[in-house]
Structure 1
């Protein structure tokens, strides 16, 4: 991970969503994979990790899909608040719920799919849809997943 732009230039069109400069780095360490625990370098995260029952585990802990859902939902919501504020809208009372699904793919591995449910109770449907579309362009998680996994956004 660097803040150089030389790699961006070589990457062509994909460079549009890459950071020009890294301003923050989060670090977490997995101990034992899906049946272990995860910690962050700053001590804010120390969680037991377990396979969900649907994947053959006991479910006695969080899992990477829950953590990804929490991260994506939070990040998308912040992007939504940002674009709302830029357009003069107060999004107090809005919510974003994220669902992350996992299942086998055609390459004998596993893939993910995401569904984001956005609630903007104070806005009419047209304005809400515009802000959600703008947030999807701003959100780093949306930019990272675009073209890689299915992301469905439901506005309700």
Structure 2
């Protein structure tokens, strides 16, 4: 089963934040916001961005050992490290699989052998910049209602569909 989700940021609809939850009023796409923050992840990129390093913070260590990043060969890089699209794919696949299991449990079904593969592609747009295309392959689930329910639960799916609040602060 294959689902293609296009990055919500490509939408030309104006965006308005409405606090917790979301709605679509008068053709305006609104952004979802949590009612309560349960966890905050932190990562720091340095030394060249896509060709530098990234470190993640955890409860065990303030920052992990730097993970080397590299542009893919198809984009002029060495391909000798991970890239943001791979990291996004990993996070989305893990999160969506968790949502699948939760929705299956709620429906009283077992999907013990389920697997999720996320393929994230990047390319230039007509406007300056780049866009992402995400393809998700779900194995071991035969019930479309569980797949649909998982998309409604998974924060990655929801962010791609509805947008996400993002702020930038100079420090």
Deviation at 1:147, TM superposition (A): 5.5
SS at match of 2:44: strand
Q: Which residue of 2 aligns with 1:3?
A: none
Q: How does 1:16-95 map to 2 (within 5 A)?
A: 17-31=32-46, 32-42=48-58, 43-44=63-64, 46-95=66-115
Q: Give the structure-2-normalised TM-score.
A: 0.73
Please identify, of 100-109 and 39-48, the stretch whose mean Cα deviation from structure 2 is larger. Answer: 39-48
SS at match of 1:8: strand
Deviation at 1:12, TM superposition (A): 5.3
Q: Which has the higher helix share?
A: 1
Q: Give the structure-1-normalised TM-score.
A: 0.80
Question: Are residues 147 and 105 of structure 1, via their aligned partners in 2, closer, same or farther at CA, if it must alter by over 3 Å?
Answer: farther
Question: What is the Cα-based RMSD across aligned positions, in Å?
Answer: 2.0
Query: For the residues of structure 1 that align with 2:37 and 2:73, how far apart are their CA atoms?
Result: 38
Query: For the residues of structure 2 that align with 1:111 and 1:105, how far apart are their CA atoms?
Result: 6
Deviations 1:35-79, CA, capped at 9 Å, x for gaps: 110001233463100000011000010000000000111111111
Gaps of 5+ in 1: 1-5, 149-156
Provide the aligned length of Structure 1 versus Structure 2: 136
Gaps of 5+ in 2: 1-16, 25-29, 164-171
Query: For the residues of structure 2 that align with 1:89 and 1:80, how far apart are their CA atoms?
Result: 11
Which consecutive aligned stretches of 4+ in structure 1 deviate over 6 angstroms post-superposition?
A: none
